Amino acid sequence: MSLADLVNNNLKDFDPKKDNINGGGNGLPAGDYKVSISEAGHTVYKSGYDCLKFKFEVIEGEHTGESELMNVSFAETSKKGNPIPDFVLERNMKTILTLSELMDAGVTSDMFLLGNETDIHVAIDKKINDKVGVVVNMNISERPNKKDPSNPYKEYEFSEAKQPESIDIDDEDLPF
């Protein structure tokens, strides 16, 4: 995306006197996208946040070339020590099982019983990290965030998409 595109798409309504600099830039807006899974695997951020990280790149439509990052964690407590709600952990499990199915990665529900979140993330990483490049349909919806209304919560749904045709090229087909 060029600087002109960024200005036209992201700064139209920006008011430097009162808007948050970190507002916006939070990935794709709500909608339906055909995406390629360009990254999938275990990561630990400098903050210590341990998760499975996915990067989705839009391959068709108005947002072609843009990407969405999604982190999924199986930590049972927050960094403040509060329990993570069951519905969050259940949604994370369903997300991973769905993506695994679409990626033909073989993650099973037994993998969520392997111990702490790092053990779970590492085991799932071994199944998914070489499955990048798979094309899926992704729906993003948003719901209000009472604590930070300018940063709504994102919810994802994934479904099967037609995979691009692969082309076999032999060394003899190359011009050099």
Predicted pLDDT of residue 154:
93
Predicted pLDDT of residue 168:
65
Boundaries of every domain in the chain? 26-163
Predicted pLDDT of residue 119:
95
State the alpha helices, DSSP H only, in 2-151. Answer: 3-10, 86-103, 117-128
Low-confidence spans in the chain with pLDDT less than 70: 1-26, 167-170, 173-174, 176
pTM of the model: 0.78
Predicted pLDDT of residue 176:
62
Spatial CA neighbour of 103 closest among 148, 62, 56, 71: 56
Mean model confidence pLDDT for the chain: 86
